[in-house]
Amino acid sequence: MMSIMRKNAPNARAAAKDATHERIVSVAARAIRRSGYDGTGVADIMKEAGLTHGAFYSHFASREAMLAEAAGKACAESAAGVADVAAAAPPGMALATMLAAYLSREHVAQREAGCPLAALGSETSRQSPEVRRVTTRHIKATIDLLARQSADWGQPAAHGRALVTLSTMVGALMLARAVDDPALSDSLREAALQHLTAIGH
């Protein structure tokens, strides 16, 4: 019995450390979308996670390493949300449903839980190679997902439309969040949605 307890104790500690690590990454993933990379400090993240600042380096080699994981988490959450929307859509309506959800008033308001590309796009070019690599993978995966909604998926035209669709979606959301005029914010969203719907896939 004692030997079993000794064997299980390290496993329990490792599981607890993994859970704590995941909690820090989740907090950081929300924080970077809320405050940006430059506005996200280690001390604030650890405090929000309910941990001491000193515990940080038992989980990450550097702030940049934490930001890269946080970016990955934010991208994974965004991708999962889009996949859920597409899966719940009626047959043949996945793209229209994804566009409507992305360019919705609710998504404009959900900055810390929404698309990391719109929340962090203007900052990403100045981040570490690890953060940029994570973001690039997410952009490529999203382009592929959008292209797959086309009847001519696999053809250059489908890929080209997906590039335009993603660029328009992200740009419209960024601008809709940037302005302090609610009517203009709605107009930016609605014009982009109408344009993308008219393009068709």
| CATH number assigned to the domain comprising residue 136 | 1.10.357.10
Q: What average pLDDT does the structure give for the chain?
A: 91
| Percent of the chain's residues with pLDDT above 70 | 94
**Whether residue 1 has pLDDT greater than 80:** no
Residue with tokens 């299980």: 8
Q: What pLDDT is recorded for position 47?
A: 94
pLDDT digits (tens, 9 = 90+) for 137-150: 999 999 999 999 88
pLDDT beyond 60 at 35: yes
Count structural domains, the chain: 1
What residues make up the domain containing 156?
2-199
